[in-house]
Amino acid sequence: MKKILVTGGAGFIGSHLCEKLLNDGHEVICLDNYFTGSKKNVIHLLSHPYFELVRHDVTMPYFVEVDEIYNLACPASPIHYQYNPIKTIKTSVMGAINMLGLAKRIRARILQASTSEIYGNPIVHPQTEAYWGNVNPIGLRSCYDEGKRCAESLFVNYHQQNDVSIKIIRIFNTYGPHMHPRDGRVISNFIIQALRNEDLTIYGSGEQTRSFQYVDDLIEAMTRMMNTRKEFTGPVNIGNPVEFTIKELAEQVIKLTGSRSKLIYQPLPQDDPTQRQPDISLARKELNGWEPKIYLEEGLLKTIDYFKQLLNL
Ligand code: NAD
Ligand code: UDP
């Protein structure tokens, strides 16, 4: 049994990770400031004898004795990370410094939840880990993209300078139960709009693409990554390489919900990437044959069920 700290543990991905780590027999400390996360996401874990919930902001130092740290604390949806961009940068950068300092002091292994956004609006397609990206350093997304890029640099430097055992994963668009209903991400927006028979809001032409990963596939990859040999630090792409246009996604959601909704077109936000697809060859090789298993239709149905319950439909 290990003692494991999950920052951002009351968020969408963090709550699934806490549950998986407890099920695997570990002791979990879930740290969150509840900016976008919620106690509701982990309420089913509160009675577990090896689960502990701590309200704390990662921009402040935190001390605890653990074997491993998963660093997820950071708003992830464009609406939320653009709400207070300075705070987003502080969370990524100061949060990384605080957690890396802790890992160094207590000799814990630490995993960083990085993102496909570090590739910006990619010119190389699909994206491999060797690609350096195409990020607008002063655009609307830069607080998130550059914050996460700086965090990757901090991780690598703590590893090289202080021999901290690090792991970096670059997560591509992930969806599933516990997504925030008002975080504005495309899957939650479309499902909620479809369930209410409201028009689905397509930004731009809908020809931009994304590759959607169901959360269970990500959680499996995260825990496998944490347990790889010390020399393998990543970064490694984690995502589902099957690529869809946003319009195809909208049509699929309407079909699966049986909704009467129509599509409406709204302006494309600034710096919205036109395409995104992970090359996951490295993950396949290093993560013990890991492979995303959940097809979009199956994952969408599970997520639709979740939102139906949440909205009392
Ligand atoms: P989320 O917003 O649901 O979760 C983030 C959690 O961090 C929330 O519980 C929030 O309250 C907490 N948090 C934010 N700022 C904090 C702070 N200063 N101190 C303590 N806690 C703080 O988002 P998510 O989708 O679960 O994302 C989790 C991580 O995965 C993030 O680091 C995100 O960048 C990364 N990621 C997610 C995706 C995705 O598609 N969901 C893609 C790439 C990367
Ligand atoms: N999007 C959309 N309608 C929405 C929300 C998002 O067309 O109601 C588009 C958005 O412009 C982007 C894609 O869907 O091209 C994915 O958006 P999301 O915010 O989920 O993630 P990200 O852009 O960070 O990949």
Q: What is the mean pLDDT of residues 145-157?
A: 98
Q: What is the mean pLDDT of residues 244-256?
A: 97
Q: Is the CB of 202 under 6 A from ligand 2?
A: yes
pLDDT over 90 at 271, yes or no: no
pLDDT over 90 at 255, yes or no: yes
pLDDT tens-digit map of 213-240: 999 999 999 999 999 999 999 999 999 9
pLDDT over 90 at 139, yes or no: yes
Upper half-sphere CA count for residue 213 (Cβ side, 13 Å): 27
Q: Is the CB of 250 under 6 A from ligand 1?
A: no
Percent residues over pLDDT 90 in the chain? 96
- Please name the residue that has the structure tokens 């957690």: 99
pLDDT over 90 at 313, yes or no: no
Cα–ligand 1 centroid distance for 258 (angstroms): 31
Percent residues over pLDDT 70 in the chain? 100
Full-model pTM: 0.97
Of 35, 97, 116, 238, the residue with max ligand 1 atoms within 8 A of its CB, to mutate for a pocket test, comes to 35
pLDDT tens-digit map of 279-302: 999 999 999 999 999 999 999 999
- Please name the residue that has the structure tokens 């899957």: 187
pLDDT over 80 at 254, yes or no: yes
pLDDT tens-digit map of 75-126: 999 999 999 999 999 999 999 999 999 999 999 999 999 999 999 999 998 9
Cα–ligand 1 centroid distance for 81 (angstroms): 9
> What is the spatial distance between Cα 214 and Cα 207, in angstroms, rounded to a whole number?
22
Indicate which ligand has the atom closest to the C-alpha of 274.
2
Cα–ligand 1 centroid distance for 148 (angstroms): 12
Show the domains of the chain with their CATH numbers: 3-174+215-240+277-293 (3.40.50.720)
